[in-house]
Structure 1
Amino acid sequence: MNPDSLIVLTEADTNQSHIINLRYVTAIKDGQVYFHDGTWIIVKESLDKIKRILSIAGIPVVS
């Protein structure tokens, strides 16, 4: 995996877009994307779409 694989995700509450470095994502569950530091955001994007992208990037997805 490229250590700096980036994805743009839109936060559901604020409609604000964030550029996310995929190497900091630890899990995706119930509309939330979790990060190594314990923070998370609720996203507007389809979780299936995000899971496909993570899979292509070689990042394991915990459901």
Structure 2
Amino acid sequence: MLAMLAPGHVSVIPLPRAYRTALHLTTCAGRLGELTRFFAWLGDQRVSGLEQLDTRLCEAYLAHRR
């Protein structure tokens, strides 16, 4: 979130994949909310680690969100 809100911050500048355009707080909150919903859904699917993610799960989540 810090990298999206303040890409010029001293803690963010050295990060190789940091987002370089500052985003509005509302946008960051929306992205964080979606990530929270995704992880909650993964827990409901009994996924215990990100290494278990595959295309099938991602497509199922997208279908769920539609």
Please give the TM-score of this superposition, normalised by the length of structure 1: 0.26
More strand as a share of residues: 1
Please give the TM-score of this superposition, normalised by the length of structure 2: 0.26
Kindly indicate whether structure 1 or structure 2 has the higher relative contact order, using CA contacts under 8 Å at least 6 residues apart.
Answer: 1
